[in-house]
Amino acid sequence: MKHQHHVEKPAKKEKMDHSKMAHSKTKHGSNPTMGHEGHNHAMMIADFKKRFYVVLALTFPIMLLSEMIQQFIGVEWQFTGSSYILFALSSIVFFYGGWPFLKGLVDEVKAKNPGMMFLIGFAITVAYVYSVAVVFGLQGMDFFWELSTLILIMLLGHWIEMKSIAGASKELELLVQLMPVDAHMVMPDMMHDVKTDTLKENDIILVKPGEKVAADGVVLEGESYLNESMLTGESKPVQKGKGDNVIAGAINGNGSIKVTVSHAAKDSYLSQVIKLVDDAQKSKSKTQLLADKAARWLTLIALVSGIGTFLYWYLTGQSLAFAMERMVTVIVICCPHALGLAVPLVVAKSTALSAKNGLLIKNRTAFENSRKITTIVFDKTGTLTVGKFEVSKVVSLQKELLENEILRLASALEQKSEHPIATGILQKVKELSLPIPATENFNAITGKGVEATVEGKKILVVSPGYLKENNIPIPDSFEVNDTETVVFVLINNALAGFIALSDEIRPESAEAIKTLKQNNIKSILLTGDNDKVAKSVSETLGMDSFMAQVLPHQKLEKIKELQGKGEFVAMTGDGVNDAPALAIADVGIAVGSGSDIAAETAGIILVNSNPKDVVNLILFGKATYRKMMQNLVWATGYNVIALPLAAGVLYNQGVLLSPAAGAVLMTVSTIVVAINASMLKVKS
């Protein structure tokens, strides 16, 4: 039985750094860094769009003035100075349209990290310099129309790509926009509208029907249904009344509620989620590092192949213009554009989508590793069961002692605990309107229960394991069913009675276990409860096995045992007394952490304690990894086929790619990767 509920929570291993999250908000109430980044991104999209249209307008006269195009359409529009007009128009295209790429080239050279911009900048510079030389006397044909169409398509590709990135991060922006800008603060004599980010702990705010909750807090007055779906993925509105917790960003139904603010906006659950999603999108997993490495190699291959192609054709007797054209085409087609986007787009999309569905990713590698899970260890209470214990039986073992007296004394010890068993006992005491006495010399017996002095008597509320260890015989009259959890009450070391509580199995649990089975993933129940309860729950749900009477510190050993058998283990726990087990598991999943999303050691946090979310997480992890692999295969496979064609391998068969065709192929490749990433969905 998990009864370590009186022990203080261990210190968090990692706290979210809220100091970095500035207090001020943009017009949507977002944190300013997000707003600033979003604004910059929008400006860059607008810049590429403007450059694209200017280059498009100039490309038409450039093509009409180009000798090769004139030959192709059978006209001759050459006139004195036409080559200089062509040079002037192309120079505008090169310096204005090509500016983002030229700037990128310089930046990458400075950073000693040549990449995509370096390749594009290098290719257009070679084409431009050669064409200018032709205008001023070098024998050959200029490249101006190819240069213009190449820059045009590159600008279009970048514009589309940036819009795709903006789309992938849109879910995060939507989360940011959930926080309302203003709040109705209740003053002693009046109501006063204030900025959300000025709210402090213990302020009282009014949330009117249809409005968003402005801060995390506790309902002080009123009743309403709240829609928390954008925060937790839970589609059904949740009923809230006095004493219930509410989350900032939730949408109020048709009742008015007054809320006591728990903490400032910067520490709200929503702010933490935004920070978490932002960090996860920026963090790199092994797949991302693999893609980065491949992109660096592709840059090197592009340069070597480009120069090699130039030398081959030039030294085998082709014209300088032909050799240059082949080099430019190879370098353009080899740009690791699609490869550079293959993983980041999927990362941005998956992380934000997860947050909207109540799956918060703290560690990208843990999320990607979820596809390898062979065994899931479920902590019983609150995950597979509702976690809401109700007193089903109170039995006195001493004739002169009433059942209510046993409950009253037990409640004195349980009043300081948040454990589900304690909550169940206190709920019963509240229903019976029994007064709760004070305690002295309170002490928690790790994993076994609690003890204290109440009204001069030594009272213990303990698990059956404690009785066994201390050789206290369990009376013959002791009888509970398989699903009940029992605590014994001792008065002055004499067994006084017991309280039986039952915890209902969640309706979603059986379906979740069935889906895991279909995916060849074993499910194991881990609980501090006795064998009878564990066996009953395990068999009811059709789980593979169970581990009963496991104390918190033994959970770690059980996970190690499974790993020793070659299993890839995921552990789901509440993130407090399960911290060591969550840390040692291959994938640690903290469940039911509610607004405490900085659960110590878990790589992934599930906002709801729903076992279906664990299944969704694994299936989504697999889907995300599949998308990454598809994108990587597409991005590299395209280069393997296109590069030889660009180099002129099939030149003798009459197949030759122009630089513009190469740019089109590269852009199409990028768009395919972006569309594929955008099709990622969380199945629920």
- Active-site residues: which are they? 379
Helix (H), strand (E), coil (C) string for 235-302: CCCEEECCCCEECCCCEECCCCEEEEECCCHHHCHHHHHHHHHHHHHHCCCHHHHHHHHHHHHHHHHH
Read off the amino acid at residue 539: E
* Contact status, residue 173 vs residue 188, Cβ threshold 8 Å: no
- Closest CA relative to residue 144, chosen from 50, 72, 73, 69: 69
Q: What is the rounded CA–CA span in Å between residue 143 and residue 134?
A: 9
**102-111 CB contacts, 8 Å cutoff, 24+ apart:** none
User: What phi, psi does 315 have (nearest 5°)?
Assistant: -75, -15
C-alpha torsion angle, residues 120, 124, 126, 132 (rounded to 10): -170
233: phi then psi, degrees, rounded to nearest 5 = 80, -5
**Which of 302, 311, 301 lies closest to 331 in space, CA to CA?**
302
Return phi, psi of residue 199, to 5°.
-65, 145
Q: Please give the Cα distance from 649 to 651 (Å, whole number).
A: 6
Alpha helices in 268-419 (DSSP H): 269-282, 286-315, 320-333, 337-356, 364-369, 403-414
Length of the chain equals 684
User: C-alpha distances in angstroms, 210 versus 254, 508, 525?
Assistant: 6, 30, 42
